[in-house]
Structure 1
Amino acid sequence: MDLTRLRLLVELERLGTMAAVSETTGMGTSAVSKHFAVLEREAGTQLLVPDGRRVRLTPAGHRLARHAVDILARADAARAELAGEGEPVGQVDLVSFVSVSGPIVLPAVRRLQSDHPGIEVRLIEHEPDEALELLQSGAVDLGLVYDYSLVPRRFPGTLTLRPIGTEPLLLSQPSGGAATSRIMTRRRLSGLAEASWIANSRGSDEDELVRRMCAGAGFAPRIRHRIDNLEIVEQVVAAGMGVGVMPKLAAAARRGVVHSPLGELGGTRRISLASSTGGWSWRPIALLARYLWDAARGVLDDTAPAPPVSGGAQLAGDPEPPLG
């Protein structure tokens, strides 16, 4: 049913006459009458009956008018929410990867839900390949994804990416073979030509990263182990069974393991927010993105400018107003 016709019905119940409705809305009485005739066809029942020179609402007309009050209020609330007015409400499905969950995602979500309890965030964990599929299908609303500066990823054109920041990559090796965490050089890396390298089970970008890095040192790596859990990777390294590339956020102090910065040899891991191009205009998504950026400021390097938030929203402690 058309919202304009429902508004006319509410006004007729309130004012009592077609002439009063016409005067209040600025429509001619003939136009008002035609709207009611269409509304009766849409409702499939008689809403008005003649009452002398006037009309009055039937019981069905009164009932529809009461429903219309609720419908119009909901429509007005939806318009206000999408326009950035009032308190944002809604569920946002966020897909992210494991190493950002503790330092970035959880602090951001806790703070968001404290400031905006009407926003509910559902967390899903996936690596970028699976995350991008979910984003493209519309199964999730917002994603944290990454790629490597040495292996740039081609992201789908249906998604809009907003960089958050970067983190350095480290070489995780048994401490018996490296007493310090000095920055890795090509010469030092070439000494690992016979080592057993660890990669994940998915191959793809991670394999290509290891191959390009080692190619720069003059050898092809022997990938012997394929392990997805980064904590298990560290345990395998501590056992002296291999070496592997570790993002800084996932590297933890562990006996038997030393982490050597790879510097330019390994490049950086670049972390971005991704959503459908139209998704950024919905305020709950934009607010969650902003809180994630805020949590990342003290964790990641080269933090990008803050994502914009519509409606003039600003986080406590912001150094500057949101962009956009």
Structure 2
Amino acid sequence: MDTRRLPHLVELDRLGSMRAVADALGTSTSVVSQQIAALAREVGATLVEPDGRRVRLTPAGRRLAEHGRRIVAAVDAARDDLDPAAEPSGTVRVAGFASAIRRSLIPIVADLAVRHPGLRLTFHEQQPAESLALLEADAADLALVYDYDLAPAAPMPPSVRAGRRLWEVRWGLGVPDDGAVPVGAATSAEVLAAYADRAFIGDSRNDADERVLRLLGAAAGFDLHVTHEADSLDLVDDLVLAGLGVGLLPTNRPTRDGIRVLDLPDPPVRLRCRPVVRRGRETWPPLAAVLGALR
């Protein structure tokens, strides 16, 4: 059934004459008659019957008109929802790592609620690979992912597109603040070499930290041991404070007493955050509004 024919039947039910329908739809009575006749053939039922010099809907016609009103309304709503110029309304499902949600999304929620009352955000804390999997499965509309410049992410699947970098943060080596400072450490590799006999801490849900550490360890000429894995930065702090290992920590995060974050000067370690969406979805008004606020 061609749903484009339904407005002719719906209007006939409302207005009661072919001429009135033609005037309302800006067409001719013959076109209205042809569209309704074609619709009758498609559904296999008689939709109109003579009523003196006019026509009226049959019981089947009235029933289809009832469905038609809902279908036409749904099509109009879908068209409005997808119109790039429409007021954003709907739920944007965001999957991303905790720092990105805290830094990029939570600060814009209140402003978005004022500017677009019909817009709603839901958050799912996930690591980059998990966020991309949700995006590909259409279980998320926006993914906030990260990689390190020293450990670039693998190429993304063709179904998604990464936006421009939102921000980047320098990372250093979190170590016990015991007064010992690497002497003569001019490079990042030399900083790590001063802790070659320590256990190192990786990330339990993403191998990017470990790849950065192993790259710098190899440059310093030693094979470091990633003994512990932690997804929480607070747990990394706890492990460092307990003397159980050293690991990467962001330099812009307040440090706890007893921890020192050593600069990794050359090459620097930078974490980069990017938004990722499914191709073709960028113009959906609710998502476009969120992306605009992020930028």
Shorter-chain-normalised TM-score: which range? 0.7 to 0.9
Residue in 2 that maps onto 1:228: 231
Which of 247, 252, 255 is matched with 2:254 structurally? 252
Offset of residue 30 of structure 1: 3.6
Q: Describe how 1:277-316 pairs up with structure 2 within 5 A.
A: 277-291=279-293, 293=294, 306=295
In structure 1, runs of 5+ residues without a counterpart are 294-305, 307-324
Which of 203, 218, 222 is matched with 1:219 structurally? 222
Residue-by-residue CA offset, 1:158-185 (whole Å, 9 max, x unaligned):
21001212111121110004469xx973
Is the deviation greater in 54-63 or in 98-107?
Answer: 54-63
Q: Describe how 1:112-261 pairs up with structure 2 within 5 A.
A: 112-154=112-154, 155-162=156-163, 163-178=165-180, 185-186=187-188, 187-202=190-205, 204-248=207-251, 251-261=253-263
C-alpha contact 1:184 1:260 (8 A) present in aligned 2 = no
C-alpha contact 1:168 1:263 (8 A) present in aligned 2 = no
* C-alpha RMSD of matched pairs (Å): 2.7
The residue type paired with residue 133 of structure 1 is: A
In structure 2, runs of 5+ residues without a counterpart are none
Residue in 1 that maps onto 2:75: 75
The residue type paired with residue 157 of structure 1 is: P
Q: TM-score, normalised by structure 1?
A: 0.79
Residue-by-residue CA offset, 1:104-161 (whole Å, 9 max, x unaligned):
2222334323432322222111111111122122221110001111111122222100
SS at match of 1:176: coil
Matches of 2:161 and 2:75 in 1, distance apart? Answer: 29
The residue type paired with residue 159 of structure 1 is: V
The residue type paired with residue 53 of structure 1 is: R
The residue type paired with residue 128 of structure 1 is: P
Matches of 2:290 and 2:273 in 1, distance apart? Answer: 16
- CA change 1:92–1:184 in 2 (3 A) is farther
- CA change 1:90–1:171 in 2 (3 A) is same
C-alpha contact 1:209 1:266 (8 A) present in aligned 2 = no
Identical aligned residues as a percent: 38
C-alpha contact 2:175 2:259 (8 A) present in aligned 1 = yes
The residue type paired with residue 38 of structure 2 is: V
Matches of 1:35 and 1:192 in 2, distance apart? Answer: 80
The residue type paired with residue 214 of structure 2 is: R
Offset of residue 84 of structure 1: 2.7
- CA change 1:238–1:198 in 2 (3 A) is same
Matches of 1:94 and 1:184 in 2, distance apart? Answer: 41
Q: TM-score, normalised by structure 2?
A: 0.86
C-alpha contact 1:159 1:277 (8 A) present in aligned 2 = yes
Offset of residue 203 of structure 1: 5.8
Number of positions where the alignment pairs a residue of Structure 1 with one of Structure 2 = 291
Matches of 1:36 and 1:177 in 2, distance apart? Answer: 87
